């Protein structure tokens, strides 16, 4: 088994033990649903009077308190009224105590717009800078409704309220998009167990061909919702890569067991199962190479030598061969050798 990125983390990593989590219901993205979500989001933004491109919030934007200081008011305007990260970056440069928070929010805003490379740089910078008490108080008061829709696996989006997990999951996805899969896996190491973080970690581990880790991290998983079904698909593919085809078929059967599983995931499970069965059938019925013995057949006994007429013919062929070699050598010396040789 390959070495786990977290010392001692050799068991399941999907069991959620908290009563309250920052995650909202996951979503399986398809071309049709993506178009519908975009249309609904645009209509909702118009009805609420929200400018497209601003940072997303759950419900209404929290109201600014009357006795807030100048820094809090400027930060509030930069977070909830701006569509570009430049105001946040400028505020960070002018207020070092707020810089860490500004860079993180700017990174999440860019992530929301699809600017993964620059978003990863800003998120990393924000995580490396400590913030002062005023910035921490602002975060606790106003940012609790900020939500980021993070892609934790292929076609699987999960809305995550502003928290450590929203930042690290977004950073992991940015690194994955940039081809830095090893770093993408490492940044998730300290997150508490949950289905979204397990999906993100297993996606990165599967890309790195750490299939034994994926199998260990998903041991005992059942299909309770679409996130667990998506994780079971990743588990089945890792089991197949390890040659555990029966276990892979069992994982696919678990995906198909729940009738309310997303149609896209069920279709993936049907496809993977058909390919797996076809692969097993092809290997079982593949023709043997020439000269190969059928299973259970005994090897032929080695012949001790030639006897009778066969031996005599063999000796004559040897003599004829020697004579031919001598004749060829004589002709070569006659035609190509130097005089006197």
Range of the domain at 258: 211-283
Q: What angle do CA 147, 151, 156 make, to 5 degrees?
A: 110
Give the neighbor-by-neighbor strand order of the sheet with 27-28: 27-28, 156-161, 147-153
pLDDT of 273 strictly over 50: yes
- Measured CA to CA in angstroms, residue 174 lies from 104, 119, 177, 228 at distances of 13, 7, 5, 23
Half-sphere exposure of 314 (CA within 13 A, CB side): 7
Domain boundary among 164, 187, 208: 208
Residue 119 lies in a domain: yes
Same domain for 228 and 198, yes or no, is no
pLDDT of 146 strictly over 50: yes
Same domain for 46 and 154, yes or no, is yes
Domain count, the chain: 2
pLDDT of 194 strictly over 90: yes
Confidence of residue 2 (pLDDT cuts 50, 70, 90): very low
Same domain for 223 and 102, yes or no, is no
Domain boundary among 179, 208, 237: 208
For 59, the 3-state DSSP assignment is coil
Same domain for 82 and 203, yes or no, is yes
Same domain for 168 and 69, yes or no, is yes
Cα dihedral: 120, 123, 128, 133 (round 10): 180
Same domain for 192 and 159, yes or no, is yes
Q: Which CATH number does the domain housing residue 116 bear?
A: 1.25.40.10
pLDDT tens-digit series, residues 305-325 = 545 555 555 555 555 555 555
Give dist(CA 254, CA 68) in Å, integer: 53
Same domain for 137 and 274, yes or no, is no
Same domain for 185 and 168, yes or no, is yes
pLDDT tens-digit series, residues 321-340 = 555 556 655 655 554 455 55
Same domain for 192 and 255, yes or no, is no
Tokens 């977290």 found at: 6
Residue pair 203/175 in contact by the 8 Å Cβ criterion: no
pLDDT of 145 strictly over 50: yes
| Residue with the larger pLDDT of the pair 132 and 309 | 132
Q: What is the pLDDT of residue 329?
A: 58
Which tokens hold the place of 146? 């900020």
Confidence of residue 21 (pLDDT cuts 50, 70, 90): very high
**Phi, psi (5° rounding) for residue 18?**
-85, 150
């Amino acid at each position: 088994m390959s070495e786990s990125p977290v010392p001692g983390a050799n068991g399941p990593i999907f069991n959620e033990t908290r009563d309250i989590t920052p995650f909202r219901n996951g979503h399986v993205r398809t071309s049709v649903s993506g178009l519908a979500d975009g249309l609904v989001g645009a209509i909702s933004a118009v009805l609420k009077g929200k400018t497209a491109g601003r940072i997303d919030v759950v419900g209404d934007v929290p109201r600014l308190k009357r006795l807030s200081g100048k820094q809090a008011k400027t930060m509030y305007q930069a977070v909830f009224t701006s569509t570009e990260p430049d105001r946040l970056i400028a505020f960070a440069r002018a207020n070092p105590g707020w810089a860490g928070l500004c860079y993180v929010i700017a990174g999440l805003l860019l992530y929301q717009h699809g600017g993964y490379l620059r978003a990863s740089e800003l998120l990393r910078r924000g995580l490396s800078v400590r913030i002062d008490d005023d910035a921490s108080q602002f975060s606790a008061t106003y940012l609790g409704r900020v939500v980021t829709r993070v892609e934790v696996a292929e076609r699987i989006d999960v809305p995550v309220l502003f928290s450590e997990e929203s930042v690290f999951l977004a950073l992991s996805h940015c690194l994955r998009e940039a081809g830095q899969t090893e770093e993408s896996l490492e940044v998730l190491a300290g997150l508490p167990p949950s289905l979204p973080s397990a999906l993100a970690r297993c996606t990165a581990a599967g890309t790195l061909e750490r299939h034994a880790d994926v199998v260990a991290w998903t041991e005992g998983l059942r299909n309770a919702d679409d996130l667990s079904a998506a994780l079971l698909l990743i588990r089945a593919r890792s089991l197949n890569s390890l040659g555990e085809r029966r276990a892979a078929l069992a994982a696919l059967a678990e995906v198909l067991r729940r009738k309310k599983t997303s149609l896209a995931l069920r279709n993936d499970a049907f496809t993977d199962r058909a390919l797996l069965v076809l692969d097993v059938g092809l290997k079982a019925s593949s023709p043997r190479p020439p000269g190969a013995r059928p299973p259970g057949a005994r090897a032929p006994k080695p012949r001790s030598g030639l006897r009778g007429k066969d031996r005599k013919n063999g000796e004559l062929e040897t003599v004829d061969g020697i004579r031919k070699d001598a004749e060829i050598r004589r002709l070569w010396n006659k035609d190509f050798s130097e005089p006197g040789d």
